Structure 1
């Protein structure tokens, strides 16, 4: 009897205990495994580790289309290139190059998500600095806070010029109590400026590790943001300081590397021209440390004699190739006649690699053959580009291959990584801002509020470097691979309009394929005219890919906000961009 009562009493006691626990929330709280909480991360080592993750999001990683290279958003939309490859491969890019954006497109969501991931990581760093342990000094807080705010400004700037205004979320938002609905009815630029000003005022002039932004990188980015708002006087004041005093992270004074191609060579990363770049390293044990952005953008089907075997994306446009035509004196054809039949760059479009072909013999800017892989011209230190054999689908892509961020044969196994499915992972840094970009933006600022002569001086510095014979592509016998003719502007520009035309075209040539062109056209207010002219010309060459494509002004300057985000927050909270 006692044993029976004893069992019954135990059952009742267990029931009471379960009822008691079920009434307490703590019963449901199970400590997370495999992650660190804020208290554990608030040491100097912890905060520095989170800061590294903010830098790590610059190339998108899991969100390829969020990369700061902007090869789709800036270069393809700007007419530097088309998607290339085959219509069915990564077809989600097809509507982008045709300006037929869809609110449900995965690549658009990918861009949004990846950028907000960067924002979230930066916010965590700033929040942790508020509860930092004693081993984090005041100087540490200024430096780390400056880097985090710089990076947060970068991610918001990418959101701003991609989507216009988007929800602004900073480190003060508490998501522990659920989703806080934040509208996109506030201009992002004041927040971006505030973060960049903080970075400029608090970062050191040099850093102990390459890749970390310094005071001058923050100044250059702030000046760029000013340019987008037409605050030319503020931008000029910063450019004056940067050009006189600016230096790279490791202390080199800013300058142009002697040979144009060396600005994009892995063995020359973090050179004097690199203002701020995405860092990459190969053969570290994980291709996540390498540059994964261009793993699709190599010549197609090249086999052992070429730089990769996948996939023919990012094919330079006919129009870009033509733009490198020069007149007999070595100046560009600023009147637009480079697309006229008499000036078009000769190509092997429609020919097989076995068919006879003689490359163009008329004068061209030497930067052409560092920017575009074309038939009969040496492709870095590999072989002469064979033409169609390296093109996956010529009717869809055209006759050219991407070249600017390609790796050299001598890089194989050291500055190039063979540990993944494709040999396209490299140690090539991607410049977000390089000194040539700074000089040409400074030239723009001078035109608007300063001196046409100073603008000409800055532009000529860029052209003088391009004219260095040591940088011309050579054949095995030492001869120039093409008829390279380039000169500086020797006579003063007669008006702001003449100066603008020269500087804007110089940006097109110097920075082609680096993700700037579309955003430049939008900020200049010329996107409608320039892009529709490009599409009208290019669609005659690639009717299948671009036939009927059209840029719609007051709509296509910005991407639509992702539909899933609008559905999540509500269309009264997240206001869709016009036209979508």
Structure 2
């Protein structure tokens, strides 16, 4: 715990962490006592809190949860263990240490800004102070939501820890979710309600009112589903969730990109057809850049991209990677004929004509299918731009898409307003098929869960959607009986879907932290 919670002096940690407003040059070492005096200091502190969003690698929740779901196997090289352990829920010492460190670092930095911002002289600019504070609350909620989904009972910190006070007991999930909901409500009230078309390009990636409301909807659906509750700890109800999601749909200026395949650079019809790194569908988008130029300590690049890339070979237009998260063939065949989301989401080695040129080499759990969304491309690859394909892939990740908001709206309104729910679903399916002849009559939640699997395929939502349907439903979906040992997967219900707390943290806590059941 001490290594994670030790006081962080404001240093070069606040170096460049993304694109646009996040491209901030490193500053020289400066003590905390001399910091948080001016608006520029507060801005640097805010950038520092945002920068943790870029920390990926083995701490990438989208990658680890897709592997844990029924969408993917572990993949990677024959000697790789980490990804296989997520796939099969097998204990591996410190498997999730990167995620633990990432989220508590982000929480620390957000807490530090919240604690210090009243000491900053904003010279009467209350609007800027209000915005920075709201963004810090949004980020704290974002980091806690990922943390509590993964680990369940986690230490709850609402202020930076003081030296010598590192052994904090785990809080109840209810307490953590109460903080998340409260933080997001504050953020939704205080963040700018600027329509997407009016957001300056230099502010792409910053949290908005719409991002806070959309995340509130996601948190509500997960918490109430997984824990079988009616609301979030009495502070956020279903009516509140409906109002928040409807507000995003009706007033945010976000919208569906006309063609699904043009959402992603790897599947776009052409470079000019690609909707771009910060398009209207991205309600909250994490920014990445190649400007780390091979320096892995910068942590600016999208490392999920190198992990999911086709292992050790270039198959035009795709660029090389490590071959993690090989796609389950069952997902590929779940799409109906004419559904554009199939080929936009998944690379089929045979279907795209690579059968003769693909080399298996040491690829583990080869299925013939790889993740297409966010896979690196030969055109404008990180190596050619002066960086490294290992660290500097640069495609932004859409954490929350407008299509997801529509599907959340359909789910929330399923019993409250069936007509509205149907209309939201129709918009998603009409885009997927390019016509109105593939609509289905919405009558139950199972239909929406299947639609979410197809629409949000391989974007990091499937595992959590399974868990919130109940552990038996998750096990039924994830279990993959196979005569081939590499593909024989059995979901261990005794874990309740929670990930293992890193052993180093348990050891450092002197008995304060307790491992999750089943691990």
The answer to whether TM tops 0.5 is yes
- Take 1:183 and 1:284, find their aligned partners in 2: how far apart are those partners? 37
8 Å Cα contact 1:375-1:387 kept in structure 2: no
TM-score, normalised by the number of residues in structure 2: 0.82
* CA contact 1:301–1:310 (8 Å) conserved in 2: yes
Given candidates 334, 341, 349, the residue that maps to 1:375 is: 349
**Is the CA contact 1:281–1:426 (under 8 Å) kept in the aligned structure 2?**
yes
Deviation track 1:374-402 (CA, whole Å, cap 9, x = no partner) reads 13444xxxxx4346715444662211122
Aligned 1:176-575 pairs, distance under 5 A:
176=163, 178-186=164-172, 187-206=175-194, 208=200, 209-230=203-224, 231=231, 232-246=238-252, 253-265=253-265, 268-283=276-291, 285=293, 288-303=299-314, 305-324=316-335, 326=336, 363=337, 365-378=339-352, 384-386=353-355, 389=358, 391-393=360-362, 396-412=365-381, 418-422=385-389, 425-447=392-414, 449-468=415-434, 487-490=437-440, 492-493=441-442, 495=443, 499-525=444-470, 527-537=471-481, 539-540=482-483, 543-547=484-488, 549-571=489-511, 573-575=512-514
What whole-Å deviation, never above 9, does each CA across 1:123-174 have from its counterpart, x for those lacking one?
Answer: 1211220211344732122100000110010000011110112101122x44
Change (3 A) 1:387 1:574: farther
Give CA deviations for 1:478-508 in whole Å, capped at 9, x if unaligned. xxxxxxxx94325x44x4xxx2121110000
The 8 Å contact of residues 98 and 550 in structure 1, kept in 2 or not, is answered as yes
Q: CA separation in 1, counterparts of 2:182 and 2:439?
A: 38
Distance, in Å, in 2 between the alignment partners of 1:134 and 1:267 is 38
Contact 2:306–2:375 (Cα < 8 Å) also in 1: no
Report the alpha carbon displacement of residue 366 of structure 1 after superposing the two structures with TM: 2.4
1:86/1:397 contact within 8 Å kept: no
C-alpha separation between the residues in 1 aligned to 2:361 and 2:321? 9
Cα RMSD for the two superposed structures: 2.6
What's the CA shift string for 1:445-488, capped at 9, x where partnerless? 112x412332222111111111128xxxxxxxxxxxxxxxx943
Q: 1:52-201 alignment to 2 at 5 Å?
A: 52-61=47-56, 64-68=57-61, 70-73=62-65, 75-89=66-80, 91-102=81-92, 105-135=93-123, 137-171=125-159, 173-176=160-163, 178-186=164-172, 187-201=175-189
SS in 1 for 2:479: helix
* Distance of aligned partners of 1:395 and 1:291 in 2 relative to their CA distance in 1, 3 Å threshold: closer
The structural deviation recorded for 1:47 is 1.4
In structure 2, what is the Cα distance between the partners aligned to 1:561 and 1:405?
Answer: 28
How far apart, in 1, do the equivalents of 2:101 and 2:314 lie? 36
1:531/1:393 CA distance change after superposition, 3 Å: farther
What are the ranges of 5 or more consecutive residues in structure 1 without an aligned counterpart?
1-31, 247-252, 327-362, 379-383, 470-485
Between structure 1 and structure 2, the one with the greater Rg is 1
- Number of equivalenced pairs: 462
Which runs of 5 or more residues in structure 2 are unaligned?
Answer: 1-10, 12-27, 225-230, 232-237, 266-273
Aligned residue for 1:425, secondary structure, equals coil
Check conservation: 1:405, 1:428, Cα contact below 8 A.
Answer: yes
Alignment of 1:11-90 (within 5 A): 34-61=29-56, 64-68=57-61, 70-73=62-65, 75-89=66-80
CA contact (8 A) 1:298 1:424 kept: no
